[in-house]
Structure 1
């Protein structure tokens, strides 16, 4: 994962972040060149196809170089930072790498080396001399640390600071658009819903700090950036095309291009969480011959039982926890549905433990956190774990391990106000239980028409692992437990 460039400078590479993840996108640097870091201190926040992850560095010392700017995708194994350990200082060890290479490329540092960091504390006369020789001084600082200056050699792109912006946009070899100055300390990273939004703003030279986000707590959404670009385009200053690389209207466009038909739609890259979901659902639909059965159930007694539990004191029990407890009891009776198919060996693998996934909608898209060993947890423990994972999902702090390894999924789409659904199975699982909204409906209860709390339950299953009889038996048992919670006493 890392190696020593010499006796003291160690290179830390992007580690393997989970099952099948081969790359990550830098969202925010948590350290600067020259900072002292402790062992296992997070140095960068990255976004993988699974979640947002803070990456800790296994070395303690002085950061001498960073590799890749914010918005850059790095493969697993690419250098992240170099750290000087021992010796009492970074400047004594000399540079770990040449800092004059292109910023953001894998294997090339964004920030300067120890020598460059030491030389950054220059006098005004030295700054004038550097500018006259074609060097570019770029401001570098955040609210957590004093602003530093560093040099970028002529002909190379100016790297961004912790906020993801550079003072002076490099157009060519040593050419800078606008005056070069030192950056003022920023107020911290701008809250955006996705690195894609940050990249879109950067491509169009749009300052995110000038926008007011319409998302929760001022979160800047893609729609906010696109609205700002359209407003700028209406004033004739920029193009509103999200695909434009420079954000500028070209001086002269060829006639063939201007006369060609153009789509008014917006292109959204399938990457990150959305890309991972798309790949998984496509594979599921391609490989799994699924079928769905459903049943209406009278949930009145289940709702009464939950009310009685919560009235007795202690932590409140959530409805999804009771449904999860019913699922684990049903899977113990019908283990065929807690399985996966090994297509290469042409075998059905029945699993002994229930790792229960549940669908959670977040600002970053749909994620499926996993409750490990759900069959060993009671309703109170399940409630606590659901709450913890949901909070982490909304904050984008789920680890890859908390998003993988599920064996069965519970999908409570009733929270969206719908009654039924035929969901796509979460590959490589064999089944998913769907729960619609619970609403008052006319229902024949004990031979008389009454208003009862009714819910629609659906089971989508892999027809390779079982036939309709098994799937129907599972769903009927779940419905019986919903209608008569005392049925669960047999398995407690």
Structure 2
């Protein structure tokens, strides 16, 4: 039987094969994880819809595989139960159902009746789950018996460093092991030599330096064994590069900046953190900037639009899916907060924390990482005053938040030390004129200078 790459959601046309967890000749069980693929910057573990023996691997790590293309050939066991029809599979126990969202054992779309039956069926398996279906926090299919639950990135890292996942206590959703859980294990296994963790495809083994030689004077400094290290362009880096090239080539971009007094906003944040309504939440300046941005977008709908080249139309969105740029170990990810225009400041805090956590742990789904209409990037966390980010394709603008620092500032005609930050806006000049972009940015700055005015905009 051939297992073909299914549509993993959002109508994506292809996926990149990251790694195989099986080899030719291996025996696989139904729903056993056999591969990891990456699509729309989300890494997904693929379970096998057949039980049998691996006859042939039809794609190699790094290959871009179209949806519907064959990935692997499985010699199905004589037990016909492993290849039963879709509707019959729904009646099987929960641990024997195919787990790819919307697909049954034959890789064909599951009927509405079958989906309803699957949804209504009780979850008999309460073991920790790994990414790839629609479970809590983006963690779906049950781990096969004897396999520890882990995110795909953590599973691959564990193989690289020789750590038994069963011996690691997971801190992820439902006890899944994450990359962060393996940090200490790796340092312990390598002694005093700490090698950077790579969650993308590793470079060739010979590029890893040996024990660092001693320099003159007795000071030890690592000297690479090779003069160059070549790493395949793959995964998040490959997809980010494609998006940025498309942005630079096809979007005529302009930028504008404003430096603003953030003191009142800092005082408001400090006050709110001490209130019961924000107990247990991470209330950051980014959340308040997001709330001010959402309020300003109401007055400037052109900032929340898109250019449809095919139909020669400007598409104005009457909803905001707010993208938040996150620096994850795998690269830059932009999860989007769906319907963010309806979220309160408290809800924004919770959603930003949740989505950033999913992105950093590698458990964000393709749906989490697509569909954004406006993006905020916070370069201030790196101590940078400002930046000129590129507009994401399909959006009209991106807001850049710089570092918030105490600086000399003229306040009420006197020199004072105030909290100050710089906001930057990059925008698609086909959609947004310089006047519109500048007025929008000034509106956001004004709301942050006097954040109590947000009370009338929520």
The TM-score with structure 1 as length reference comes to 0.62
Aligned with residue 360 of structure 1, among 296, 315, 326:
326
Distance of 1:51 and 1:459 partners within structure 2? 27
Aligned with residue 44 of structure 1, among 35, 55, 58:
35
Residue matched to 1:304: 267
| Cα pair distance change 1:88/1:213, threshold 3 Å | farther
Helix, strand or coil at the partner of 2:400: strand
Residue matched to 1:172: none
When the two chains are superposed, the root-mean-square deviation of aligned CA atoms in Å is 3.9
Residue matched to 1:79: 71
- Deviation string 1:427-454 (CA, Å, 9 cap, x unpaired) is 1211011000000011111221110000
Distance of 1:220 and 1:348 partners within structure 2? 37
Aligned with residue 53 of structure 1, among 32, 38, 44:
44
Helix, strand or coil at the partner of 1:79: strand
The offset of 1:413, in angstroms, is 0.5
The offset of 1:30, in angstroms, is 7.6
The offset of 1:86, in angstroms, is 8.7
Alpha-carbon contact 1:293-1:458 (below 8 Å) kept: yes
Aligned with residue 370 of structure 1, among 333, 336, 340:
336
Aligned with residue 195 of structure 2, among 214, 222, 225:
214
Residue matched to 1:62: 51
Distance of 1:459 and 1:220 partners within structure 2? 31
Aligned with residue 233 of structure 2, among 258, 270, 277:
270
Larger Rg: 1
| Cα pair distance change 1:26/1:281, threshold 3 Å | closer
Residue matched to 1:416: 382
Alpha-carbon contact 2:255-2:425 (below 8 Å) kept: yes
Residue matched to 1:177: none
What are the residue-to-residue correspondences of 1:199-278 with 2, within 5 Å? 213-215=194-196, 225=205, 228=208, 264-278=227-241
Structure 2: runs of 5+ lacking an equivalent: 83-143, 148-155, 169-176, 180-188, 213-223
How many residues are matched?
352
- Deviation string 1:442-480 (CA, Å, 9 cap, x unpaired) is 111122111000000011111111211111111011001
The offset of 1:423, in angstroms, is 1.1
Q: Which has the higher contact order (CA 8 A, sep 6+)?
A: 2
What are the residue-to-residue correspondences of 1:62-141 with 2, within 5 Å? 62-65=51-54, 67-68=56-57, 71=61, 73=63, 74-77=65-68, 78-80=70-72, 82=74, 84=76, 87=79
- Deviation string 1:249-295 (CA, Å, 9 cap, x unpaired) is xxxxxxxxxxxxxxx54433332111111111111111111111111
Matched, 1:382 2:362: no
Distance of 1:483 and 1:444 partners within structure 2? 13
- Deviation string 1:302-331 (CA, Å, 9 cap, x unpaired) is 111111111012443232221111111111
Residue matched to 1:99: none
Helix, strand or coil at the partner of 2:376: strand
Alpha-carbon contact 1:62-1:89 (below 8 Å) kept: no
- Deviation string 1:367-426 (CA, Å, 9 cap, x unpaired) is 111111110111121111111221121122221111111111101110110101111111
- Deviation string 1:217-264 (CA, Å, 9 cap, x unpaired) is x989958956535679xxxxxx966xxxxxxxxxxxxxxxxxxxxxx5
Alpha-carbon contact 1:356-1:372 (below 8 Å) kept: yes
Aligned with residue 289 of structure 1, among 242, 252, 255:
252
Residue matched to 1:313: 276
Distance of 1:49 and 1:382 partners within structure 2? 24
| Cα pair distance change 1:25/1:222, threshold 3 Å | closer
Alpha-carbon contact 1:214-1:221 (below 8 Å) kept: no
Aligned with residue 463 of structure 1, among 407, 422, 429:
429
